[in-house]
Amino acid sequence: MTVFPDHDGFVNGAADFVAALALASIAEQGRFTLALAGGNTPRPIYARLGTAHHASRIDWSKVHIFFGDERCVPPDESRSNYRMACVALLDHVPLPPGNIHRIRGEDDPAQAALQYEQAMQRFFRTSSPPALDLICLGIGDNGHTASLFPGTAALREQVRWIVPQYVEVMATWRVTFTAPLINAARHVAFLAEGAGKAEMVWRVHDGPYDPDVLPSQLIRPMHGQLHWLVDAAAAAKVQSV
C-alpha cells in the first residue's frame, strides 16, 4: 500500500504512477492499455495526467483507453464516466479517436456489454481474458468497485468479461468489467482518498473475506500486481501498510 500525506500528494503520486507504467509499457511492448475508473476520486488524477508535465512525456498515440464500467446513459450526459474522462483528460491529450474504446451506455445494456466484450476480443486477439496493462478502480462506501455491487449476479460471473447489471440501490443499469477480466490485468490499482473511505479500505484490505458483501475483495490479480494508492486519511485504520 502506497500512502500519500495529503490530497496534492495523492493526486500527483497517482498520476506519476500511471505515467511511469505508461512509459514502461510503451518501451517494452509498444503500447499501453489503460482502463479508467469512474467517480469523483480519479477525476483530479486524470486532470493531472492531462497537464503539460505528463502530456508531453507520454506518447499518447500508443495509449489505448478502456473503461472498467459505465452508467447506461448517453455519452454527453453528466453521469457518464466517458464524459468525465473526456472533460478531465481525453480532450487535453493527443489521443487518436480510434484509441478511445468507450462503452455505449446509450444502447441496450445487454447489447452494449456484448459489443464491448467482442470489441475487446478483436483488439486483444484472444478469447481468454486479456492482460490490460493497468486497470484503475475506486472503492465505494458499500464496498463496490467498478459496477460490481454487493449481492448482484455480476459477482458470480466466471466466463463473461463484461456484463450488464441492474443496480437496485441506485435504480439504474450499468455495464461492468467482471472479476475474471480485472484479475487478468498486469496491474490493478485501487484509488481511495479521504477519512470517509478509511473504514471501507480497512475492511476490504484487512477484514474477513466476504466478497458478496464487499465486492472489492474479489480483486486478486492472478499473475499481475495489486496496488493501493491512498492518502493518509483513507489509510488511517489499516494495520499492515
- CA 115 to each of CA 89, 97, 143, 187: distance values in angstroms, whole numbers, following the listed order: 25, 18, 28, 24
Specify if 157 maps to a domain.
yes
Dump pLDDT digits (tens) for 138-182: 999 999 999 999 999 999 999 999 999 999 888 899 999 999 999
Q: What is the DSSP letter of 154?
A: G
Question: The domain that contains 166 carries what CATH number?
Answer: 3.40.50.1360
Please list the alpha-helical segments (H only) found in the chain.
7-29, 43-49, 52-55, 81-88, 109-124, 179-182, 198-206
In a domain, 238, yes or no: no
183 within domain boundaries = yes
Residue 107 lies in a domain: yes
Is position 237 within any domain? no
Report the pLDDT averaged over residues 33-55: 94
pLDDT beyond 60 at 124: yes
- Domain contains 239: no
For residue 43, give every residue at least 6 positions away whose Cβ sits within 8 Å of its Cβ, in sequence order, or none: 84, 88
**Which residues span the domain enclosing 21?**
2-231
Q: Examine the pLDDT at 241 and tell me if it is beyond 80.
A: no
- Are 19 and 13 contacting, i.e. CB atoms less than 8 angstroms apart? no
How many domains would you assign to the chain?
A: 1
Instruction: Enter the pTM of the model.
Output: 0.96
